[in-house]
């Protein structure tokens, strides 16, 4: 069973992560929520989520929580992504294509600057 | 939605909304029997027969108090157009089982699509749910299976976030490689 062997790999990942955490102080956490109701999925939200996860993996980012949620109710803006950095107010982005998601990850999640081009007007 | 895997994501989201603690998704591509079957079972709050009728046929009722999407009717229509069908079995307080069947070789059948991406998203972005994923390929008298139960994985993580980059890499490659390996026996 390859899965059993893989769990051993996962244990090693965990041990390594714990060692690193001892020396690295943890910066403010980031919460990302992707709307995954029917309209969101139809508009490409799975690819948006995939890009966010790819980015985290690629850039080795920690302290990020990624969630998906049901219908947000602003169908014409799908795919919708909400970003909360630390104690700041949530920022809701619309029409977040994978390319837009990458830009939001780079500029907002990592750089701390809101990407105004994609912010949904209240 | 142009992929069976996207419809499964949609159905899984319904299961989570219904308060499911455990959701099992089973996909079987059987070229021996010329059948593609996708089943999603949950232990959510379930539906009454009237509600089941309503989610399958949104024009069955004029009632507008509950929002009913078009996800299931569209998936059902797609299955029926490919020599298959979609059935829902549901018991209030127990859970729901949705089964969709397609003729595998049907010219109009939508592709299975990116099943690993659907599974990865669900497992990572709904960590509170216990996910079980099964994929089986059958062709030329042979069978290959892939099985993923995220409970042992979460136990191993023991507090390490599932979004940790190395955990994500592990999960992604495990799902992609596992399902990809099983799919190798299928005829083009």
Phi, psi angles (nearest 5°) of residue B111: -65, 155
Q: Which residue of chain B comes nearest to A34, CA vs CA?
A: B125
Of B10-14, B31-35, B57-61, B126-130, least confident by mean pLDDT is B57-61
Residue B159 covered by a domain = yes
- pLDDT per residue over B73-129, tens digit each? 999 999 999 999 999 999 999 999 999 999 999 999 999 999 999 999 999 999 999
CATH number at A50 reads: 3.40.30.10
Distance (Å, whole) CA B180 – CA B49: 38
Range of the domain at A90: 26-118
- The answer to whether the beta carbons of residues A104 and A118 sit under 8 Å apart is yes
Number of domains in chain A: 1
Structure pTM? 0.93
Would you say residue A90 lies in a domain? yes
Q: Do the domain assignments include residue A14?
A: no
* pLDDT of res. A75: 82
Q: Establish if A48 belongs to a structural domain.
A: yes
Q: For residues B83 and B102, is the Cβ–Cβ distance under 8 A? A: yes
Q: Quick check: is A82 in a domain? A: yes
CB-based contact B156:A18 (threshold 8 Å): no
* Position A67 in a domain: yes
- Is B109 a member of any domain? yes
Please check whether residue A89 lies inside any domain of the structure. Answer: yes
Instruction: For residue B169, list its beta bridge partners.
Output: none
CATH no. for residue B10? Answer: 3.30.565
CA distance B104 to chain A (A): 23
Residue B188 falls within a domain, yes or no? Answer: no
* Residue A93, domain member (yes or no): yes
Chain A residues near residue B152 by CB distance under 8 angstroms? 7
In a domain, A6, yes or no: no
Q: How many CB atoms lie within 10 A of CB B133?
A: 24
Domain count, chain B: 1
Which residues of chain B have a CB within 8 Å of the CB of A67? Answer: 125-126
Domain carrying residue B102? 4-183
Chain B residues close to A17, C-beta within 8 Å: 160, 164, 166
Q: By three-state DSSP, how is residue B60 classified?
A: coil
Q: Does residue B75 sit within a domain? A: yes
B36-61 pLDDT, tens digit each: 999 999 999 999 998 898 888 877 65
- A110 in reach of chain B (CB within 8 A): no
Neighbours of B108 (CB within 10 A): 10
């Amino acid at each position: 069973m390859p899965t059993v062997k893989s769990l051993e790999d996962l244990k090693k990942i965990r041990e390594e992560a714990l060692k690193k955490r001892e020396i690295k102080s943890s910066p403010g956490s980031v919460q990302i929520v992707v709307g995954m109701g029917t309209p969101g999925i139809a508009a490409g939200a799975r690819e948006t989520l995939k890009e966010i996860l790819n980015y985290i993996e690629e850039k080795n980012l920690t302290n990020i929580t990624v969630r998906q949620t049901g219908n947000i109710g602003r169908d014409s803006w799908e795919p919708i992504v909400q970003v909360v950095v630390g104690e700041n107010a949530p920022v809701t982005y619309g029409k977040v294509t994978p390319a837009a998601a990458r830009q939001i990850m780079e500029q907002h999640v990592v750089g701390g600057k809101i990407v105004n081009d994609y912010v949904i007007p209240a | 939605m142009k992929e069976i895997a996207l419809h499964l994501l949609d159905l899984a989201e319904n299961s989570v909304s219904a308060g499911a603690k455990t959701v099992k998704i089973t996909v079987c591509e059987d070229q021996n029997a010329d059948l593609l079957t996708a089943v999603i079972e949950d232990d959510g709050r379930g539906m009454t027969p009237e509600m089941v009728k309503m989610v399958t046929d949104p024009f069955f009722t004029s009632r507008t108090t509950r929002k009913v999407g078009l996800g299931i009717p569209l998936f059902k229509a797609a299955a029926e157009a490919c020599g298959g069908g979609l059935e829902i079995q549901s018991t209030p307080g127990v859970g729901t089982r949705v089964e969709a069947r397609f003729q595998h070789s049907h010219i109009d059948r939508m592709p299975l699509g990116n099943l690993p991406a659907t599974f990865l998203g669900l497992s990572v972005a709904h960590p509170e749910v216990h996910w079980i994923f099964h994929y089986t390929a059958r062709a030329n008298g042979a069978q290959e299976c892939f099985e993923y139960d995220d409970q042992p994985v979460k136990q191993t993580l023991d507090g390490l976030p599932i979004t940790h980059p190395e955990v994500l890499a592990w999960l992604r490659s495990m799902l992609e490689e596992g399902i990809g390996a099983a799919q190798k026996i299928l005829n083009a």
